[in-house]
Amino acid sequence: MNSVYVFVGLLYLVLLIITVVTSIYQFAFSLFGIKEGRTAVASPPVKRFAVIIPGHNEERVIGPLIESIKAQHYPMELIDIHLIADNCTDHTADVGRKYGAIVHERFDPVHAGKGYAIEWMIGQLRTYGEAYDAIVMFDADNLVDADFLSIMNDKLCRGHRVIQGYLGVKNPFDTWVSVSLALSYWYDNRMWQHARQNLNLPCALGGTGLCIDYNLLQEMGWGATGLTEDLEFGVRCVERGVIPTWAHEAKVFDEKPTTFFASFRQRLRWQQGHFQCAHDHMLPLFIQGIKERNLSKFDTAVYLFQPMRAIIVLMMSVILFVADYLLPARIAHLMIYPLPEEILIVTGAVLFLQIPFTLLLERSNWRAYFGLVIMPLFLWTWGPVSLHAYFTRNNKKWYHTVHKRSLRLSQIKDS
């Protein structure tokens, strides 16, 4: 029996080393997120945009999004708004037309989901008869800051071909779930995405607020029809040598789930898609990154590893609980080597303290700090979500997230 405890102890030590190494890696990179690095918009409006909005039963939220696009500080003659009413059974198409969008109704229950809808829409644009310089994608529940397209135009004029905008939250203070998600996004925006922008490394594409050079899209094709179509496309860009760049001032606001169940299901889909993508790309990117001394590929592989890291933290927490509370001290000593528990606590504390530091850097609303109390529990739940996703990673069924809050941009900025 002692051999079992020794084996578990060795397993714990290996997991601890992986956790500490990846944590130090991320902490070192996050330091580059402290610098703001703002770039003044210098280019005149010259790029013509096709704005694509995939929508499934979004009649409640699509109107405010279109309004925010029409309120851009950018010439409307250089913007076409294409709404995909994808397998809708409500009045999404009618509302879209009312607000002035070009509506494309699509009915294909076999190939349902955002990735398929985008691929279909790109095919439609080829026969539409308009010459576009770039495609911009928004989710139907989004709201867009007025300077978004001006910043994207400037980035394109500077030679960038794939650009990700800042992912804000429409409803951060609705519930403990939405504020926890908001804290996660604020941290990722600053300490992951912006930090990598300052290092000229690829950012992770977020599925909305995304701008792609039209010619590049024609060269590569979309080809991203999994559960995380944004991640798939971004990884293919890195493999091709195209570095997706981050635009911290180009803000788009997204509605987050307000219940734990809805959040669990949404995150489950994200992690299932993440595992699918990691299966195809993570190891080759690791190998190429090392062989070619290509930090962009290596760092993208590290990002693809993140769901496994959540599972590792879950496994370690279970081992620690069993050793500390369910076993005699002499047996627990065989499982937990000297000091590892303290190392894990210090590492976790240093990473967690980056979140309130991020709130200071981002000048976040004072109410956000109250969310820090429940944040450790919410972060821990990524473990069960990721574990469930790993065992169901072959599932490719798209689950629609229902959106109910019809907010305007002014309501968000006044809150």
Q: Determine the pLDDT at residue 411.
A: 64
Q: Determine the pLDDT at residue 414.
A: 45
List the strands of the sheet with 134-137, edge to edge.
102-106, 79-86, 49-55, 134-137, 210-213, 162-169, 245-254, 143-144
What pLDDT, in 10s, does the model give residues 74-110? 999 999 999 999 999 999 999 999 999 999 999 988 8
Token couple for 374: 């429940």
DSSP 212: E
What pLDDT, in 10s, does the model give residues 240-252? 999 999 999 999 9
Q: At residue 308, what is the residue type?
A: M
**Measured between alpha carbons, how far is 389 from 269 in angstroms, rounded to an integer?**
7
| Mean pLDDT taken over the chain | 89
Beta pairing class for 79-86 and 49-55: parallel
With left for phi above 0 and alpha for psi between -120 and 50, is residue 321 left, alpha or beta? alpha
Q: Determine the pLDDT at residue 110.
A: 84
Q: At what angle do helices 2-30 and 340-361 cross, to 10 degrees?
A: 30
Structural domain of residue 155, as residue ranges? Answer: 1-415
> What CATH number did the domain enclosing 11 receive?
3.90.550.10
SS3 at position 338: coil
Q: Which of 82, 76, 84 is nearest to 48 (CA)?
A: 76
Q: At what angle do helices 295-304 and 306-321 cross, to 10 degrees?
A: 50
Q: Contact, 234 vs 209, CB < 8 A?
A: no
**Measured between alpha carbons, how far is 278 from 241 in angstroms, rounded to an integer?**
18
Average pLDDT of each block of 10 consecutive residues along the chain (415 residues)?
Answer: 73 85 93 86 95 93 95 96 93 94 91 86 84 94 96 97 96 95 96 95 93 92 74 93 96 94 93 92 96 97 95 88 69 59 76 93 93 94 95 76 64 57
CB atoms within 10 A of CB 82: 20
Q: How many domains does the chain have?
A: 1
What pLDDT, in 10s, does the model give residues 145-194? 999 999 999 999 999 999 999 999 999 999 999 999 999 999 999 999 99
* For the chain, counts of helices (H) and of strands (E): 17, 8
Q: Enter the pTM of the model.
A: 0.90
Q: Determine the pLDDT at residue 1.
A: 58
- Tokens 């606001």 sit at which residue? 253
Backbone angles phi, psi at 55, to 5 degrees: -145, 130
Token couple for 168: 């804000």
